Structures are given as C-alpha cells and as structure tokens.
Structure 1
Amino acid sequence: MTIDIRTLRLASGLILSAFLLMHLLNLSFGLISPAAMETMRPWLSAPWRSIPGTILLYGAVLCHFTLALIALYGRQTLRMPLRETLQQVFGFLIPLLMIPHVMGTRLLYALTSYEMTYFNVINTLWVEAPLMGLRQSVAIFVVWSHCCLGLYFWLRSKRSFRKYSTAFFTMVVLIPIIGWLGFMEAGKAIAASGVAGMQRPPPAGPMGETISTVLYGVYFAALGGTLAARGIRSLRGRYFRRIRIGYPGGRVSVVRAGFSVLEASRARGIPHPSVCGGRGRCSTCRVRILRGMEDQPPPTGRELTTLERIEAGPDVRLACQFRPTHDIEVAPILLVDELDKALPVRKSSAVSNVKEQEVVVLFCDLRGFTSFVERRLPFDTVFVLNRYFEIVGAAVEQAGGRMDKFVGDGAIALFGLNASPAAGALQAITAGLAISRGLKALNEAYADELGEPLRFVLSLHAGPAIVGNMGYGGAMQFTAVGDTINVASRLEELAKRLDAEMVVSNDLISKTPLDLSAFERKNLTVRGRTEPLEVWVVPRAADLEVKVELA
C-alpha cells in the first residue's frame, strides 16, 4: 500500500493538532485553579512525554516540517489566496516561536532532570517574565490558526462539513479563548498567593545554548536551502523550455514546464476558481482544452477519480492537477470576474450567492393529467391547476419549506434551507401528508366536476445540493441543482411505475425517528453511486400518516 505525501502531511498535522488541543484543554483548567491544571497534567500533557508519545510527537513534527519544505519547493508560484498564504506563513513561523518554549520545558528536563510543573511555567510566563508569556500567547495563536486553516482546507470539500461547520467554527474560536483565560486566571492566582517566590528552575547551561543554536541553525538552513533551490530552479527555467498557456479573450500565461494550469493562472493574475485550494478534491477549477491536447500527460490519481465522478469529457482536465508539457489553450468552465468580461457572457447570467448545503427535496406530480386536460376547456383546466397549486404551496410553506418551482402539473419544494437536515426531513414529510389530505378534500369538493379523482405521486429525498440565485436577467430565481435533485426526480418516476402515492429515500428516513419497516423497501441503482439507493415504497400516503402519528 502506498501513502502519498498529502496523506502523511494530514496524518502528522492531525497528531500535532491533537497535542495542541490537549494542551489548551489543560490550560483551561486554570479557570478552576493552578492545582486543577497540575492535577490534569498527567492525563492531558504527560502522555506526550512518554516514550511512545515523544516518538509520535517529534516524529510528526519532523515529518510535517519536512513535507512543508517539499511542498514549498514543489510550488511553481508563491501566488495563492490569502487563506493559503496565512497558513503557509504561520506554519513557517511556528518553529521560531516554539523553540524557546521547548528549550525551557522538554529539553530542560532532558538536561537537568528538573520537572517543570504548571506552577513553574505560569510563574515564569506570567509573573517573572511577562514578555515571554506574551510571546507564548502569540505562538499558541499562530499554531492554532495554522492547525485550523489546515483542518478547514481538508474538511470544506466534504459533503458533511456544512452540517457541522457551525460547531467547527465555534470550537475554533472558543477553545483558544478558554485556554488563554485559564492561563490568565492561574497566573493571577499564583501572583496573589505569594507562590511567585518559588525557586526558579536551573539553567540549561552551555549544552542548552548549543542545542538551541543548532535548532535555529537547522531551521534557517532548511528553509533557506529550500528557497535557494527554488531560486536556482527559477534561474534555470529562464534558459529552458517554457510553456505558453492561452485563455479566452487573448490572455496568455508563459510559465516554465512543470507549472499546473491553475498555477499558471495565478502567476499571471488570471482569476481561476478553486474551492478546494488546488488539492484535486473538487472540480471547480476544471478547464476545457481548446487546442494542444495531443501528447499531453493523461489524468491520473485524484484528477482521474474526480473526472470520472463528474463524467467529464476527454477534453476536460482539472487545472490544479494538469501540468501541460507543451503549448496549450484552455477555457475555464466556471467563469469568474475578468474572465466573465472577456467572454460573451453577461454578468446578470452568472450564478450568484450560491453555496452547497444539505437539503430535502419534495417532488409532486399529478397522474393522468394529460387525459384530464384533453377533456376540458383551457380555463377549466387552469381553475383546477390553481386549486392544486394552492394546496401544494400552502402545505409546503406551513411546514416550513420553500417552493422551488411549478412545472406543468408538477411541483418541486425544498426543505431544511434554514434548519437542520433532520428538521427539514420532518418538514418535507409533514408537507407531503398535508398535500395528500388537501387533494383528498379537493376530490371530494369537486367530485361532480372532476369525474374521477385527481391522483398524485410524491417523492422525497435528502442530500447535498447547490442552492442559490440562478438564471438569466429577469428569469433569475432561487433554486437548487445537483445529484440530490436528479435522484428525487427518478424516485418520482419510480413511484409512477409502482403505482404508489409516495416513494421516500432511506437517506431521508434515517434522519427521522420514523420506522417504515411495514412498507416495501427497494434498492434503486443511481448513476454516480457505488451502492444502490434504498427507498421505501408507500402505496397510500394516508398509511404513512398513521405511522407519523404513532411516532
């Protein structure tokens, strides 16, 4: 089994994040007392001083720093979005800020066998040398910011992240604040108790100074060597083959061989979307090859997986992964800013205020309505349709959903836009049952005029979708697109084939306390899914209503 560099960097980063999290949690006990901090130290800090903990911690430090240098050298350009820039700058500041702390704690113990307690550490940082305490606070902020940015870049492309993003950002803010407040309260308590006069730890001596000098030397030599290697490569690149990448509107980026198309865009200052930050985890940076596709390297690894997932054509590549070997012309498929102006696309037709979100979708359609229309005058048909639309719209809005659109005799509604997926699932079921009751009342009220009852089908499904204002000019409207919408449409077709009033996906039911084991369960093969989609077939919506009442 092979492990790529990104996996190693992620694993080492998670280890270091766990160490920092436990350290901050230990500091937070200072809100109780310094003694509480010391009591929790064997559980939260001491494990990292064991032999396995030390190997794991310093192995992760060495691995993460080495891989960061490799990534720095591998970047063809240092132009990147602000958040990525902050992550990189914070990452390379960490050793400078943390070496003094490591020297005063871990290496001091190794050289003198003097065990630094939290009483000693806080006395030094808060009472005797507050400037050192300020530097340590800045160091924790930098390390925590670097960790959180890395976690964000890793998690943001995952479908479930939006569901937990509020909790994530809340913890990002609260944990360091609580830790720092614990440090502050412990420092004030030690200063007020007179413990400030405790014996100072012994100096590390000449050996400590030597080790400190060596650590700083290794750091500056490694970072400086990497930057120097980049400079040499850049100078060599001036005398070696260069690649010309053309864009719509006549813009051109000339770069050294080895640049990805995304790096070429950034180097030239050409706006190019990349939601995942150029990690091959999304397809927002994809480009269409207009010229020069011949003899280019084929997609592999992450790029191949992503392109297969979106069923891209042979002329589509991921700009972040595709490194052309000769001149080429490309057109970014998702246009932004200046590229919008360069191409014949009006700004008003662009997608605006869109985001990915977990939603619940309800499809509703009338069965046999075509034959119904053929036997009636147009205005009579409109009258019935409006009564039907009123029932659907009122049911959706009263349940807390939002009407997406009416198409012919069909309707699409969205739920969970401003609520949790679980709440959205219950809202959709509630709306579906209200539609069933409303149509039953309509059939009874207009039995003579209708001739035969109006029959309906409902399909309900939950999953991620892109929601926002889409369209052109005056036709801009709030809507949702994505696989979740397509699957809900297929479930509606399945309901018609099975002559059932409702088909509900297990993805939706799993978010509710409902038990549908009394109904038939089927597996539906859906394009783009490796596993079949489990659905529940409800012949009569009224039967599900009984289940909801019992639940």
Structure 2
Amino acid sequence: MTIVSANARKKTHLISGAVLGTFVLLHFFNHSLGLVSIDAMEAGRRMFNLVWHSVPGTILLYGALLAHFVMALDSLYRRQTLRMPAGEALKIIFGLSLPFLLVPHVVAARVEPLLSGIDASYPGILRVLWSSSANTARQTVALVFVWSHACLGAWFWMRGRDWFPRYEFLLYTVALLVPIFALLGFVNGARSLGRDYAEHGGYGDSAYVSQQRRVDPGLMEDIRRTFYGGFAALIAGTFALRALPVRGRIRVRYPDGRIAAVSSGFSVLEASRAAGISHVAVCGGRGRCSTCRVRVIQGLEGQPAPDAAERATLTRIGAPDNVRLACQFRPVHDISVVPILDTDSLGIKTQIARQNGGGRERRVAVLFCDLRDFTRIAEHRLPYDTVFLLNRYFEMVGEAVESAGGVIDKFIGNGALSIFGLKTPLQEACRQALTATVRLSAGIRALNETFADELDQPLRLAIGLHAGPAIIGEMGYGQATSLTAVGDTINTASRLEGLAKEHDAELAVSAELVQNAGLSLEGHRRLDIGLRGRQATLETWILGSAAEISEVLPA
C-alpha cells in the first residue's frame, strides 16, 4: 500500500534538493572568498550562519537533508532494476557516497562546536583540513561529489523545460566555475593561515589546540562511527529489502518476440531495462516527457489507471487510451506492448565517405525534399517528441538516399539536400536519384503507419529533382567546413521542390533529369515553368505520388 503518492514523493525530493542546492551554492561562494582573504571568508561565514545556523534555518536545512536522503532510499527501493543510463547511475553513486564523505566535516563544523561551546571558524577548520593530505583529499573529493550530484539532479529537472536551451550555456558555465572558485578559495585560504594569522597569535597553534582539548577526541570518533554505521545500515537495509522475494510475476511481451518476466510492481520501462531491451527515456524515467511511451496491444483491461502526472503528459500529446508512459505504468498482469519511439531514431546513420569530392565542377543529380506543414504539426507536440519524430524522418531520408548511391549534403530545417553522381556517371546518378525518390515515398508512408495514432494529419513530402553542372568542394570555416555543392543546378532543384508544394504534388522532376536517366514519363502532367535569371522555360514533370516513378524504373 502506498501511503504517500508518487507525485508527493517527487515534489518532496525536488523541493528538498532545491533547498540543499541553495545551501551548497552559498557555502561554495563562501569558500571562494578565500581568494580575497581569511577575513572575507569569516565575514561571509557570519552572514551565512545568520540564516543557516538559526533555528528556522537549521530545521529547514536538516529537514531537507533527511527528506532528500529518505526519498533517495525510497526511490532506490522502488527501482525494480539497477540497469539504467550512466547519468542516472552516477547521480545515485554520488548521492550514496556523500554521507560518508561529509560526516567528518559536519561533525567538526556542527557537532563539536555544539558540545564545546566554541564556534567553528574558517581558520580552525582550514587548519585541520590542510594539516593532513588525507583530510585535504577527502574535502576535495567531497566538494566535487556534492556539486556533481547537485548538477546532475538539476540537469535532469531542467533539460525538459522550454527555457533551458536559452540559458544552457550560462548554466553550464556556472556549473564549471563554482567548484573551481570554491577549491581555489579553500587552497588559498589554507595557505594564508600561517602568513596572516599565526604571526599575530589570532589563530595560533596553541590557541587552536587548547580549544580542541575541550572535547574528548574519543567521543568525537565514536560520534563519527555512529554516523557512518547509521548511514551504512540504512543503505544496506534498502538493498536487503530489494532482495526480498516479491509475490506475483508478470510477463511483458515486445513486438520482436522478446519477453521480460518480472515481479509485480515493475514499470514497463524497468521491465525493458531488466531484460536488456533498449527503451528510450530522455527524462530518466520521471514522467516529464513522453519518449518512453508504449502502445498496449493486449492486456490493457484491468490495469491501473494513469496517475495525475502521467495523465497530464498523455493529454498534452493527445495520446489515445491504449498509450501509456512506460516509466509510470506498472501492470498487474501480462501485457503486450509496442514502444513507439525506439533507440534507432535517436540519430542519423553515418554517411558514406566523401573522397575526391572537392574543388571541381561535376555534372550531378540533385534531390531536394521537405516535410509539408510540419510547423503546424510540431505546435501540438512536446519538444522531445518533435525531436524524435524529426530524427526518425531524417534517418529515413538518409537511408533512402545512401542505399540508392547518393550522399546527404545537408539538412535544412526539416528539409534535406542530397547529391548523386560524385563517383558515378550522370546517367547512373539520375537513376539513383529517381530510385531514392521512390524509397522516400515508401518511407514516408511507413512513418505515417508507425505514428498513425500520434499524428493529427499524415506527414507529406515535397520533392524536387534536377540534374546539371555544380561546383563540388569543401566549403565553410573551421569546424563548420564540409563537402557541399553550389550552382544553378542546386537552386533549380530547390525551386522544383517549391513547385511540388504549389501544385499539391509529391514530386516535381525536370525533364532533363528524366531524359538523362533514359526514361520517359509520358502520360503524367507536364509543365513549362519560368525560372529567375533564365529566358528559356524548364520542362517539368509533376507527379502526385513519387511512387509512380517505380513504373518506369528498370527492375
């Protein structure tokens, strides 16, 4: 039985993390004042303590620390499999390591002053940390782990927000500079102790040692061991509870025939990971995106209804009733699912080598294609879904072009420019371009079938084909240099792609390219169009479906 809802647990984890992150940021800023002087560090510490050492501040800080740790253990316990992406694994490892790295610092800065009645000052703490290489190394590792854990947590939360891309560079810069300045301040402050203070007797060895003798070192060691043992027992207990047998087994079936047999309580995403089946989850399985969603094709009856968070995401993307978020859906009996977005759609297939393609004029065939009305389609989709859909489309275009013998020159928005004939005669290049066009038409139909339940309207292509001379070469500047083509042939192909849109057709191909391919399109619609900068018109064939080209292509 769940006492606290999943949504409440998420909010508690997030709010407590925000409180701790604020504390860490201010504390590191205080460390960085060591670049100025010990006096500056002390002045900053007094202001810092006014908030965090007050009764409300102490309750807020340690309440957040306890809540965050408990929520982390709860999340670890509820995670049905330990298979996860590297980012999630590092976040958990950093989080579980922190108590053991921070116990000595917390005991020295909070517990010992409480027992001795003597406030812990920066000079005193720095003297202890700098006096031993082990203490120095532990403090440095703790600082890096604390900040890494905080940054990973913040990144998992922020990366799905609409505003994140606008501030991404600034946030990454802050994430890099904060620990650097904190460490430099720590080192500079510690090195300045003897020079600035010992000679004045303000924080001399004898004064500091006499203060430390007011607390039994054995007692402090016992306190540290108690903390270590307590945290170790909590973490070990969590793993022990995970190992207890859970009643009930369910089977999750996938379209390729694989089956994940897991205990009741697993989410579909956890079942996929436990079985080693690749399953996309951009937000880390937190229900903040819809990339992990699956279509349930069998066994949906009697399953738990979506909670508020899952329902909100599904409603936003207009998902039908048989689509669920794999990270939130925990089936209670056997089901069959189809992941809607697979890992293959994450990127574009590596293009073929472009050797001997620079600095010359060559007669080539050029293909321009573009998705029609895609802006309108994207307006009603989550950013993650738009990216995945585009990448799936780009992959389809790349495979169609490359399998036919062409090369993707560049992607422009949701359009693509492809070149045929870098290594082949023009006649063969023209046939390759027409073959690629047929495959593009088939590919877009396959995408529409795959995403039929996700799209309000089917995806439609507009393709322009032309052949002629073009300048081929490596063009650009620095890292942006790449093989590309320029010339009137490229412009004409682009104009034909626009012409296909104007006539609500899928393909506009110049008669010149068809003739060079040794084919005929008699019986189809033909236009003579005027082009800017040309006196003569361009004879063009207009086809409602590019698949019709297959009728004249040789087998």
Which secondary structure state, in structure 1, belongs to the residue aligned with residue 84 of structure 2?
Answer: coil
Partner of 2:168: 165
Q: Would you say the 8 A contact 2:127–2:190 is kept in 1?
A: yes
2: CA distance, partners of 1:76 / 1:175? 35
Partner of 1:418: none
2: CA distance, partners of 1:124 / 1:324? 54
**Shift in Å at residue 404 of structure 1?**
9.3
Partner of 1:366: none
Deviations 1:430-462 (A, max 9, x none): xxxxxxxxxxxxxxxxxxxxxxxxxxxxxx9xx
Q: Bigger shift: 36-45 or 207-216? A: 207-216
Partner of 2:221: 209
Partner of 1:12: 16
1:32 corresponds to which of 25, 36, 40: 36
Which secondary structure state, in structure 1, belongs to the residue aligned with residue 282 of structure 2?
Answer: coil
1: CA distance, partners of 2:189 / 2:226? 34
TM-score of the superposed pair, with normalisation by structure 2: 0.62
Partner of 1:439: none
Question: Given the superposition, is the C-alpha separation of residues 404 and 39 from structure 1 closer, same or farther in structure 2, using an over 3 Å criterion?
Answer: farther
**Shift in Å at residue 405 of structure 1?**
4.9
2: CA distance, partners of 1:90 / 1:411? 42
Partner of 2:73: 69
Q: Would you say the 8 A contact 2:370–2:414 is kept in 1?
A: no
Deviations 1:293-322 (A, max 9, x none): 222222222111111110111111110011
Question: Given the superposition, is the C-alpha separation of residues 283 and 192 from structure 1 closer, same or farther in structure 2, using an over 3 Å criterion?
Answer: same
Partner of 2:302: 295
Partner of 1:149: 152
Partner of 1:51: 55
Partner of 2:332: 325
Question: Given the superposition, is the C-alpha separation of residues 109 and 404 from structure 1 closer, same or farther in structure 2, using an over 3 Å criterion?
Answer: farther
RMSD: 3.1
Partner of 1:188: 191
TM-score of the superposed pair, with normalisation by structure 1: 0.62
Counterpart AA for 1:263: E
Partner of 1:94: 98
Q: How does 1:261-340 map to 2 (within 5 A)?
A: 261-337=268-344
**Shift in Å at residue 10 of structure 1?**
0.7
Counterpart AA for 1:49: H
Question: Given the superposition, is the C-alpha separation of residues 197 and 330 from structure 1 closer, same or farther in structure 2, using an over 3 Å criterion?
Answer: same
1: CA distance, partners of 2:39 / 2:346? 57
1: CA distance, partners of 2:68 / 2:371? 54
1:352 corresponds to which of 344, 347, 351: 347
2: CA distance, partners of 1:474 / 1:84? 36
Q: Would you say the 8 A contact 1:30–1:183 is kept in 2?
A: yes
Question: Given the superposition, is the C-alpha separation of residues 332 and 101 from structure 1 closer, same or farther in structure 2, using an over 3 Å criterion?
Answer: same
2: CA distance, partners of 1:262 / 1:241? 18
Partner of 1:121: 125
Counterpart AA for 2:272: S
Residue 413 of structure 2 is aligned to residue 479 of structure 1: yes
Question: Given the superposition, is the C-alpha separation of residues 100 and 308 from structure 1 closer, same or farther in structure 2, using an over 3 Å criterion?
Answer: same
What is the aligned residue count?
370
Q: Bigger shift: 81-90 or 36-45? A: 36-45
2:134 corresponds to which of 109, 127, 131: 131
Which secondary structure state, in structure 2, belongs to the residue aligned with residue 105 of structure 1?
Answer: helix
Q: Bigger shift: 177-186 or 1-10? A: 1-10
Counterpart AA for 2:180: I
Deviations 1:273-332 (A, max 9, x none): 001111111000001112212222222221111111101111111100111111111110
Q: How does 1:355-370 map to 2 (within 5 A)?
A: none
2: CA distance, partners of 1:19 / 1:353? 42
Counterpart AA for 2:99: P
2: CA distance, partners of 1:270 / 1:298? 25
Q: How does 1:438-517 map to 2 (within 5 A)?
A: 466=387, 470=394, 471-472=396-397, 473-474=399-400, 477-480=411-414
Q: Would you say the 8 A contact 2:252–2:335 is kept in 1?
A: yes
**Shift in Å at residue 217 of structure 1?**
2.4
Question: Given the superposition, is the C-alpha separation of residues 124 and 404 from structure 1 closer, same or farther in structure 2, using an over 3 Å criterion?
Answer: farther
Partner of 1:179: 182
1: CA distance, partners of 2:104 / 2:287? 38
**Shift in Å at residue 169 of structure 1?**
1.0
Q: Would you say the 8 A contact 1:48–1:57 is kept in 2?
A: yes
Counterpart AA for 2:326: A
1: CA distance, partners of 2:307 / 2:298? 21
2: CA distance, partners of 1:224 / 1:89? 14
**Shift in Å at residue 212 of structure 1?**
2.4
Q: Would you say the 8 A contact 2:371–2:414 is kept in 1?
A: no
1: CA distance, partners of 2:374 / 2:281? 34
Where structure 2 has 5 or more consecutive residues not aligned to the other structure, the ranges are 350-367, 402-407, 416-455, 457-555
Partner of 1:508: none
Partner of 1:519: none
Deviations 1:137-192 (A, max 9, x none): 11111111111111111111111111111111111110000111111111222244
**Shift in Å at residue 47 of structure 1?**
2.1
2: CA distance, partners of 1:268 / 1:45? 50
Partner of 1:249: 256
1: CA distance, partners of 2:50 / 2:133? 25
Which secondary structure state, in structure 2, belongs to the residue aligned with residue 248 of structure 1?
Answer: coil
Q: How does 1:351-390 map to 2 (within 5 A)?
A: 352=347
1:225 corresponds to which of 237, 240, 244: 237
1:85 corresponds to which of 86, 89, 95: 89
Question: Given the superposition, is the C-alpha separation of residues 117 and 5 from structure 1 closer, same or farther in structure 2, using an over 3 Å criterion?
Answer: same
Question: Given the superposition, is the C-alpha separation of residues 412 and 222 from structure 1 closer, same or farther in structure 2, using an over 3 Å criterion?
Answer: closer
2: CA distance, partners of 1:51 / 1:4? 26
Q: Report percent identity of matched pairs.
A: 42
Deviations 1:487-538 (A, max 9, x none): xxxxxxxxxxxxxxxxxxxxxxxxxxxxxxxxxxxxxxxxxxxxxxxxxxxx
**Shift in Å at residue 46 of structure 1?**
4.3
1: CA distance, partners of 2:250 / 2:158? 34
Where structure 1 has 5 or more consecutive residues not aligned to the other structure, the ranges are 338-349, 355-402, 414-459, 487-551
Q: Would you say the 8 A contact 1:123–1:191 is kept in 2?
A: no
2: CA distance, partners of 1:92 / 1:28? 26
Which secondary structure state, in structure 2, belongs to the residue aligned with residue 296 of structure 1?
Answer: coil
Counterpart AA for 1:287: V
Q: Would you say the 8 A contact 1:287–1:316 is kept in 2?
A: yes
2: CA distance, partners of 1:226 / 1:51? 31
**Shift in Å at residue 52 of structure 1?**
1.1
Residue 103 of structure 2 is aligned to residue 108 of structure 1: no
**Shift in Å at residue 44 of structure 1?**
2.8
**Shift in Å at residue 34 of structure 1?**
1.2
